[in-house]
């Protein structure tokens, strides 16, 4: 994903609300701080999900 993704996502998306344990949020925050562009939590979750889906595609 390239470009500045801050703000409202594209119109062709749907919201998915999840609750995560604080420990997972802390790990997520630590991992996103390693990214050169410091993505938001939702953006980091999107990136992780896309990467996982690509890795597990059949």
Cβ pair 32, 38 in contact under 8 A: yes
pLDDT averages per 10-residue partition of the chain, 58 residues: 63 90 98 96 95 94
Q: What is the pLDDT of residue 13?
A: 86
- What residue ranges do the domains of the chain occupy? 22-56
Q: What is the pLDDT of residue 9?
A: 65
pTM exceeds 0.85: no
Region label for 35, one of left (φ > 0), alpha (ψ between -120 and 50) or beta (otherwise): beta
């Amino acid at each position: 994903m390239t470009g500045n993704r801050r703000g409202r996502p594209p119109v062709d998306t749907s919201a998915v609300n999840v609750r995560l344990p604080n420990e997972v949020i802390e790990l997520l925050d630590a991992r996103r701080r390693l990214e050169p562009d410091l993505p938001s939590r939702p953006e980091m979750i999107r990136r992780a999900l896309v990467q996982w889906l690509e890795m597990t595609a059949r």
